[in-house]
Amino acid sequence: MQLEISPEVWSSFKFFGSLLLLKMVAMSILTAIQRFTHKVFANPEDVAHDKKNCKVIYNHPDVERVRRAHQNDIENILPFFFIGFLYCLINPVATTAILLFKVFTASRYIHTLVYAVYPVRQPARALAWAVGYGINIFMAVQVLLSAL
Amino acid sequence: MQLEISPEVWSSFKFFGSLLLLKMVAMSILTAIQRFTHKVFANPEDVAHDKKNCKVIYNHPDVERVRRAHQNDIENILPFFFIGFLYCLINPVATTAILLFKVFTASRYIHTLVYAVYPVRQPARALAWAVGYGINIFMAVQVLLSAL
Amino acid sequence: MQLEISPEVWSSFKFFGSLLLLKMVAMSILTAIQRFTHKVFANPEDVAHDKKNCKVIYNHPDVERVRRAHQNDIENILPFFFIGFLYCLINPVATTAILLFKVFTASRYIHTLVYAVYPVRQPARALAWAVGYGINIFMAVQVLLSAL
């Protein structure tokens, strides 16, 4: 058989998938900015250029906060890439699929904002996380049912 | 060219792939359960609702155990999603492919059970890990050989 | 619609994709070698066979260095698997696509060598990382533009 996909679902998946990828890899830059701002690094060779002011430490709160946000992307966005692709291929209703991709992407951008850019009080982060999490589970259940 | 796949291999991949995804994302819930049970969190805003009883610490053994199990899923299940998909597309023997997906899934469920749910003595976890690890390598070598 | 791909781009993606997967999962072995060499482990059950000489600690520099290299693979190679696949499907110029896959793979092998196998002074690691990082962003932008 050949893999069949609706053109509008595929186009939407490529659009939101690449937006999510760009957001996710931006976390590396955000981490680097925190490291250079606070002059804290994770390896001896990274501080060799300025041993006076730079330190090797692993518990700077601003650095670790961005790293936790990055890790949360790894735990949620990478699974989305997989299950979202399978979901594209089980012939979902196009408007539903596009809505899910859109809301998932928004929830992950908001998650990063309220976690790593401008921390606000809970439950902001918990809600942003839960929306994306629920969408991953919804798609996984649909894919599972389609394979029975 | 078009991507060609055997219907039964594809159906099996969707079935076990979504089972693996559901197991993997369940680790977030398992972590949350440990955090709320022991009242230990990773951010100041997460303890603001009950500063008396909740603490921000990073070394609670029960929480960290679940997080290590989650990380091991990231290191093994996410690569499976990729290489398993490529393997589906190189026209493998259907019974072999389905067996590999089934055993991989079982090995990862067992890994979580003996690591994060009900820890037992080694080599239980090492064996569960090794089975899945070997399957990933086997599939990667097959994909590599198919591309020469 | 059906997913269309150039045979030579697809062959190259399978080749370099499986080479990257094999490199990435090899980090688990590299970590295990460091753990057994230094007799430092992450779980009580892992030291039960030799409580006299083995310790549960989380800050051995040689172990943590390999784990950071592994984490960097997770942050860069797993996104490559996704965006590289989408990039294959937007009908790129074959020579460009193959060159990107080749250079990305080389950059990640070099990254591991200079980070975890034979650490050298910066900017060796920073440059190796930046090359792969830039390729991921380039492909993501191309995929995004193709979906507008």
* Residues C7-146, CATH architecture: Up-down Bundle (1.20)
Task: Give which of A67, B1, A101, A25 is closest to C83, Cα–Cα.
Answer: A25
Q: What is the pLDDT of residue A54?
A: 94
The neighbour count for residue A26, using CB atoms within 10 Å, is 14
Residue type, B77: I
Alpha-carbon span A118 to C118, nearest angstrom: 38
Alpha-carbon span C69 to A113, nearest angstrom: 27
Q: What is the pLDDT of residue A46?
A: 92
Q: Assess B1–C contact: CB distance below 8 Å, yes or no.
A: yes
Task: Give which of B138, B103, A15 is closest to C140, Cα–Cα.
Answer: A15
pLDDT digits (tens, 9 = 90+) for A6-25: 999 999 999 999 999 999 99
Residue-by-residue DSSP string for chain A: -B-B--HHHHHHHHHHHHHHHHHHHHHHHHHHHHHHHHTEESSGGGSGGGTTT-EE-S--HHHHHHHHHHHHHHHHHHHHHHHHHHHHTT---HHHHHHHHHHHHHHHHHHHIIIIIS---TTHHHHHHHHHHHHHHHHHHHHHHHT-
Q: Assess B33–C contact: CB distance below 8 Å, yes or no.
A: no
Q: Assess A4–B contact: CB distance below 8 Å, yes or no.
A: no
pLDDT digits (tens, 9 = 90+) for C88-119: 999 999 999 999 999 999 999 999 999 999 99
- Site of tokens 């501080």: A47
Q: What is the pLDDT of residue B72?
A: 98
Alpha-carbon span A57 to A64, nearest angstrom: 11
Mutation for C interface: A14, A47, A50, A76, most C CBs within 10 A: A14
Q: What is the pLDDT of residue C62?
A: 93
Residues 6+ apart with CB under 8 A from A137: B22, B25
The C-alpha of B48 sits at a distance from chain A's nearest C-alpha, in angstroms, of 8
The C-alpha of A100 sits at a distance from chain C's nearest C-alpha, in angstroms, of 17
- C56, β-bridge pairs: C41
- Which helix or strand (DSSP H or E) is residue A56 part of? strand A55-56
Q: What is the pLDDT of residue B128?
A: 97
The pair of three-digit structure tokens given for residue A25, joined into one six-digit string:
């890899």
Predicted TM-score of the model (pTM): 0.97
Asked if A75 lies within 8 A of B22 by C-beta distance, the reply is: no
Alpha-carbon span B36 to B124, nearest angstrom: 28
The C-alpha of A82 sits at a distance from chain B's nearest C-alpha, in angstroms, of 7
Alpha-carbon span B13 to B7, nearest angstrom: 10
Q: What is the pLDDT of residue A127?
A: 97
Asked if C25 lies within 8 A of B79 by C-beta distance, the reply is: yes
Reading chain A (148 residues) residue by residue, the pLDDT tens digits are: 999 999 999 999 999 999 999 999 999 999 999 999 999 999 999 999 888 999 999 999 999 999 999 999 999 999 999 999 999 999 999 999 999 999 999 999 999 999 999 999 989 999 999 999 999 999 999 999 999 9
Asked if C18 lies within 8 A of B120 by C-beta distance, the reply is: no
Identify which of C7, C19, C46 has the shortest CB distance to residue B1. C7
Pairing of strands C40-41, C55-56: parallel
Q: Which residues of B touch C15 (CB under 8 A)?
A: 144, 147-148
- Which helix or strand (DSSP H or E) is residue B56 part of? strand B55-56
Query: How high is the ipTM of this complex?
Result: 0.96
- A4, β-bridge pairs: C2
Q: What is the pLDDT of residue A93?
A: 97
The C-alpha of B145 sits at a distance from chain A's nearest C-alpha, in angstroms, of 23
Q: Assess A22–C contact: CB distance below 8 Å, yes or no.
A: yes
Asked if C25 lies within 8 A of B125 by C-beta distance, the reply is: no
Alpha-carbon span C100 to C102, nearest angstrom: 5
Q: Which residues of A touch C141 (CB under 8 A)?
A: 18, 22
Q: Which of the listed CATH numbers 2.102.10.10, 3.40.30.10, 1.20.120.550, 3.40.50.300 matches domain A7-22+60-146?
A: 1.20.120.550
- Residues C95 and C31: beta-carbon distance below 8 Å: no
Chain A neighbours (≥3 Cβ pairs under 8 A) are: B, C
Query: pLDDT below 50 — which residues of chain C?
Result: none
- A55, β-bridge pairs: A40
- Classify residue C29 as exposed, middle or buried by CB count within 10 Å of its CB (0-12, 13-18, 19+): exposed
- Residues A79 and A136: beta-carbon distance below 8 Å: yes
- Residues B24 and B40: beta-carbon distance below 8 Å: no
How many degrees, rounded to 5, is the angle at CA C90 between CA C85 and CA C92?
95
Alpha-carbon span C3 to C17, nearest angstrom: 19
Identify which of B1, B74, B83 has the shortest CB distance to residue C18. B83
Domain ranges of chain C: 7-146
Q: What is the pLDDT of residue C95?
A: 97
What is the separation of C-alpha B105 from the centre of its chain, rounded to a whole number of angstroms? 8
- Residue C4 gets which letter from DSSP? B
Alpha-carbon span A86 to B110, nearest angstrom: 25
Reading chain B (148 residues) residue by residue, the pLDDT tens digits are: 999 999 999 999 999 999 999 999 999 999 999 999 999 999 999 999 888 999 999 999 999 999 999 999 999 999 999 999 999 999 999 999 999 999 999 999 999 999 999 999 989 999 999 999 999 999 999 999 999 9
Identify which of C78, C121, C136 has the shortest CB distance to residue A45. C121
Helical H runs in B1-123? 7-38, 61-88, 94-112
Alpha-carbon span A136 to B97, nearest angstrom: 25
The C-alpha of A139 sits at a distance from chain B's nearest C-alpha, in angstroms, of 9
Q: Which residues of C touch A86 (CB under 8 A)?
A: none
Q: Assess B19–A contact: CB distance below 8 Å, yes or no.
A: yes
Residue of C nearest to B61 (CA): C43
Q: What is the pLDDT of residue B89?
A: 96
What is the separation of C-alpha A75 from the centre of its chain, rounded to a whole number of angstroms? 8
- Site of tokens 């989305």: A80
The C-alpha of A60 sits at a distance from chain B's nearest C-alpha, in angstroms, of 13
Q: Which residues of B touch A133 (CB under 8 A)?
A: 25, 28
Q: What is the pLDDT of residue C66?
A: 96
